[in-house]
Chains A and B, each alone.
Chain A
Amino acid sequence: MVDYAGSGPATPPTAPSGLVSGALRMGDYWLTVLARTWKGGVITTFVTPFFYVLALGVLLGGFVEADPTTLEGADSYLAFVAPGMVAAHAMTIAFSEMTYPVYGMVKWQRIYFSMIASPLTASHIVLAQLGFLMLRTLFACGVFLLVLAPFGVFETWWGLLLAWLVQGLVVLAFATPVLLFSLSIKGEESFALIFRLGMIPLTLFSGTFFPVANLGPVLEKVAMASPLWQGVNLTRMLALGEIDWGLAAIHVGYLGVLAGVCWWLAVRRLGERLVS
């Protein structure tokens, strides 16, 4: 029987010195979660988007004979739809990772409560979780973009690189409000609401599959106000090499402000849930 006092080195436990150093302490938690779950994520992360590109972009798109001017400058339907799908994929990852998994950490297994009992705070927890999500999304979207590259949908290598980096911003712009929502709801049935009234309409009507101009002047403006259109249009401009830098800056600003404000609110909300 080993005495509790223990043997070996006795590094004193400490409070983290800063926000990043605290979040990094959670790196092993997220790596352990990843090691356990990556197999299950392979299909949704890599195979599903490939099927979508094949079915919608190549096979269905083969029937679309549109003038490039009506496809926002894309010279094929595949070239039009592929960048939109990448951004929509980043959004889907945000929804799937920030809904039930987050709710479980508050309500079912209550893991957040064990984290807050350690020297970590809500700010560390949120930074680690969103940081990990961003890295995962960049990896998934990176693979997606590499699969698309041989189809010739990217005009320049730097457009491809920037389009890839933009997905880090897109995922945060969705992850932060959804995280805030998941930390605020009373029952899991509320998720049906944001999937049916949020994710699905966003995917279908934010310019992913057809130009928003097709919606008519009023609905076009509504679609353009959606965060997904901002992400889709930004990704598409970078992919097609037809970049309006002023508009690109607006997209980045819109997504950045949305992510920043919701991040701040999510940290506050998590703090309220854990410390009362």
Chain B
Amino acid sequence: MISAHGLRKSFGDFEAVRGIDVTVRPGVAFGFLGPNGAGKSSTMRMICCVSPPSEGELRVFGMDPAKDGPKIKARLGVCPQEDTLDVELNVYDNLFVYGRYFGLPRAEVKGRIEELLDFVQLTDKAKAKVDDLSGGMKRRLTIARSLINRPEILVLDEPTTGLDPQARHVIWDRLFRLKQAGVTLLLTTHYMDEAEQLCDELVVMDQGRIVAHGTPLGLIQEHSTREVAELRFGVGEHEALAAKVDDLAERIEVLPDRLLLYSDDGEAVIEAVHSRGLAPVATLVRRASLEDVFLHLTGRTLVD
């Protein structure tokens, strides 16, 4: 569906994307995970034909975005980071006028709107003004709008950023259904839980480059231990205490507010720490996540 080789994007002196290779197969939920400024959105914009690549080769549906932008865009669904809804039109009209941009007959658009409003659970809001919707509802409406042309690839740029946990779960549920229906999903996120829940395959981006590529589970297995023991000591003590416990784990990360000890048996690590006479203010044993993968690969956390 999508292939990129040596893809680069520069804005003046700033290089946002520094030569990436990506292949997205049909039916896959493909994620771009990385912190703000990693080059995820720039990559999405190139795929969506609204940002010409500075260098490299990019093909979407086998076509060149520079030459066949409108043809590619006809088959894409785009859910941008900002909703870009027309707040002066109501929910129904936002979908109706958008469907018409794709050359679909009026009657057909109307039929699709009913189905899509049902799908994103906004049927009773059809006549509501966009301004009166909550953030989660606006996001769902934007997703419905991006589905009006029954796209072969749905591109979602930070689909749940800024939403409360409940609204995020509703979005995830809808996206999961789309994935099950066989829609190719392409999403960017800086939430590791989102990437883990939705993505079959993902790349980790940092400073315009891809630093890792694989399945969520595969990446965790490759770059982390099974469990992580988190130790919280007094403010400013973490750096000094790290040396006293670093032999208890395969790897240790020192964060400003806690120590992360990587081991396949987190409980055993905590016991060993206590047996050395150290008394952390709080302890936690958890399963390793993509956050740990990112920390390991870049030395930084995802959400600063």
Contacts and interface: CB of A to CB of B under 8 A. Distances in A.
A is bound by B: yes
Interface of A: 1-16, 25-29, 32-33, 36-37, 109-111, 113-121, 274-276
A100 B84 CA distance: 17
Nearest to A4: B181
Nearest to B11: A276
Given A2-B119, A119-B70, A13 B150 contact: yes
> Which one of B11, B80, B86, B103 has the greatest number of beta carbons of chain A within 10 Å?
B103
Contact of A13 (B48, B82, B104): B104
A7 B115 contact: yes
B178 to A, nearest CB: 5
Given A111-B86, A118-B102, A14 B118 contact: no
Interface residues of B, number: 49
A36 B88 contact: yes
Nearest to B45: A276
- Chain A contact residues: helix, strand, loop or mixed: loop
Interface of B: 11, 48, 50-52, 68-71, 73-76, 78, 80, 82, 84-89, 93, 96-98, 100-106, 108, 111-112, 115, 118-119, 145, 147, 149-151, 177-178, 181-183
Nearest to A109: B87
A13 B78 contact: no
A13 B52 contact: no
Closest 5 CB pairs of A and B: A15-B70, A13-B102, A118-B101, A13-B149, A114-B84
B108 A110 contact: no
Nearest to B118: A2
B147 A4 contact: yes
Given A118-B101, A121-B69, A32 B96 contact: yes
Contacts of B70: 15-16, 119-121
Contacts of A37: 88
B295 to A, nearest CB: 33
Given A28-B100, A275-B50, A10 B86 contact: no
A28 B103 contact: no
Contacts of B93: 32
Contacts of A8: 108, 111-112
Contacts of B71: 15, 119
Nearest to B103: A14
A25 B86 contact: no
Nearest to B149: A13
A37 B89 CA distance: 10
Contacts of A119: 70-71, 73-74, 101-103
Nearest to B105: A11
